[in-house]
Structure 1
């Protein structure tokens, strides 16, 4: 028996383990569901590979009733969570959640299936996500390969959103929009960061009492981004980014959960963004008594419904 097949090289439970023979064992986020017409919401979805070379794909959602009309809808580009190393755009919980968001907000949603670490360490996920955003943008002026986006996307009402690692990605896509701009007919109206995965070398708030968990988060970050400078890298700590004030939108909604260790990073992000010279409007919603990504695990609870309605209000009424 090859001993290396059972010897652990890296243990990042509850996400995954890496064995010395190179085998990767993921504990969550491995189940996938197919695109479909969801009978409960009336939302239809389909999968599109945008880069055959990399395999980067998206799942696009639209209210089915819209397909046979000329109606234009806001565009939501969504980045899933999972510590940059688990989950996909095709996971059941994300498929269910996007169906709900699309139904409630009446949007066209593009859920991004970026490549994950450790097979594809950061910054690959950021590059993949930007490639998807540029692909979405290519449909402005009723051009581009996808009929749903070409016919039904209102590119003057584009929103970015994500949870956990996906919120981190959404933030960096907003920065890149600010730095590089978008097509003349495309406007990034707002960004939603749900339980964002930000961190830092020095603890803030309640993190001071969580030494063991802090160490695990530090280790995970270095695992998914081996070339990082550490926990004060600008990719994980927005406070260390001199370009924070160039965020390419005027509205940001931050959502945190009371029992989530990452909660104080959300509050801190609000503080530093307000002091960065950015000039937009930032609001924060804290869900009492809840933990990390509770809205995905228990979407029927009242706090999950309230969180969803805040996102809908931003998309439909521009209200933070």
Structure 2
């Protein structure tokens, strides 16, 4: 008799891969004292945006009507989770979106995307494109949706915010869509916010080899990459490392403004800082902000904190500047 299937990859108990290729995803998850914050100034609603893959997104908007002086900007929030875990329904993601909606006075759209290892890259990037095409279809529709009324929602001021693996996706969207996203007209992306984008590389950085974080260590980072890059790929794959040996040059890429933010104590810090500096060196419109002493997920996991307020202020100023 053969041996029983055993766990070969374990992502914090949330996702387990067995030796026979079967996969377990936990229905109940310990969020380590992260609870839904009741923000009564924000209302939300779910939509199915991709029937083929059964993917939904959640819209958040201020409960009060927008001021007569202007429409609500649209913020797309792409959750993190190493491409392997995460959901718009998780309390940290929900809290982050209500904070973005209230702090920025925005209509926030939070799409789910397919997860690895069942759906390796580029599936999450493809899904993010689909979610944006869904918005484009709404902007073109004559059947006006009350939540996406062009009199209240500004399809010409769209900002894409990506956290961790969502930041990686946001980078690829920025490259693929190009300056002011002509493929999405009348939807127009004005800028991108990358919150500690999840980039990889075979060569280790100093921050990766440094002290582990509360939520991350090198073993977890490597596991996420093993499970998410295309079969046969490694951490230098172009979808993991934007400056890998086989990655296309970004010199000629026409990019919208990018705000890059990271915690000073993150294992990803060196890669994030290097990403921003390289793009700046190419003449791209990039701003880099580092939060001293903060670890990975400091905004997403505690969006209503003092540091969260600083992040909101930074994003608000970026939105104003990039829309001029």
**TM-score where L is the length of structure 2:** 0.84
Which structure 2 residues correspond to residues 203-242 of structure 1 after superposition, within 5 A? 203-209=204-210, 213-214=217-218, 216-227=220-231, 229-240=233-244, 241-242=247-248
Moved more, 170-179 or 46-55: 170-179
Determine if contact 2:155/2:186 at 8 Å carries over to the other structure: yes
Q: 1:291 to 1:186 in 2, by over 3 A?
A: same
Q: Which moved more, 1:131-140 or 1:263-272?
A: 131-140
Change (3 A) 1:68 1:50: farther
Q: Equivalent residue for 2:172?
A: 172
2-structure distance, mates of 1:224, 1:119:
9
Partner of 1:107: 106
Question: Residue 266 of structure 1 corresponds to which residue in structure 2?
Answer: 272
Q: Over the residues paired in the alignment, what is the CA RMSD in angstroms?
A: 3.2
Does the 8 Å contact 2:99/2:303 carry over to 1?
no
Cα distance between partner residues in 1 of 2:29 and 2:162: 16
Give, in whole Å, the separation in 2 of the partners of 1:8 and 1:39. Answer: 38
- Alignment gaps of 5+ in structure 2: none
SS at match of 1:307: helix
Equivalenced residues, count: 312
Q: What is the Cα deviation at residue 243 of structure 1?
A: 4.3
CA contact (8 A) 1:189 1:249 kept: no
Q: Quick one: structure 1 residues 29 and 265, their matched pair in 2 at CA, closer, same or farther if it must change by over 3 Å?
A: farther
Higher helix residue share: 1
Does the residue aligned with 2:58 lie in a helix, a strand or coil?
Answer: strand
TM-score (normalised: structure 1) = 0.85
Change (3 A) 1:224 1:183: closer
Q: CA deviation at 1:317?
A: 4.8
Q: Classify the secondary structure of the residue corresponding to 1:93.
A: helix
Gaps of 5+ in 1: none
SS at match of 1:294: coil
Describe the shift of the 1:184–1:125 C-alpha distance in structure 2 as closer, same or farther (beyond 3 A).
closer
> 1:42 touches 1:63 (CA, 8 Å); kept in 2?
yes
